[in-house]
């Protein structure tokens, strides 16, 4: 005999699909609380490591965006012969 998802609910009867509004909200809140109990907070060392990774990533992305901005600004100024801030 095989178990299905409905019959393996650990002794609880299967929920009706047409449960009331408040019953669905209660079920949702219970599921949220159940998931929050599974959350594990990082250790201090992990938190510092994650923070450094994010800061390095943001700094690299800022460098890339700055270089692209300067390149496109110079290119547009060169193509259109403008008297922009990069034209000296």
Q: 25-75, pLDDT tens digit by residue?
A: 999 999 999 999 999 999 999 999 999 999 999 999 999 999 999 999 999
pTM recorded for the entire structure: 0.55
DSSP the chain: ----TTTTSTTPPPPPTT--HHHHHHHHHHHHHHHHTT--PPPHHHHHHHHHHHHHHHHHHHHHHHHHHHHHHHHHHHHHT---TT--
CA distance 86 to 43: 47
pLDDT for res 67: 98
The confidence score (pLDDT) of residue 30 equals 97
- Looking at residue 81, its pLDDT comes to 87
């Amino acid at each position: 005999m095989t178990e299905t998802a409905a019959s393996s609910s650990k002794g609880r009867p299967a929920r009706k699909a047409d449960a009331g509004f408040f019953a669905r909200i209660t079920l949702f809140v219970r599921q949220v609380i159940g998931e929050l109990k599974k959350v594990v907070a990082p250790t201090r060392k992990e938190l510092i490591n994650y923070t450094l990774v994010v800061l390095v990533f943001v700094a690299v992305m800022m460098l890339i965006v700055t270089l692209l901005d300067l390149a496109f600004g110079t290119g547009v100024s060169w193509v259109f012969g403008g008297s922009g801030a990069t034209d000296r």
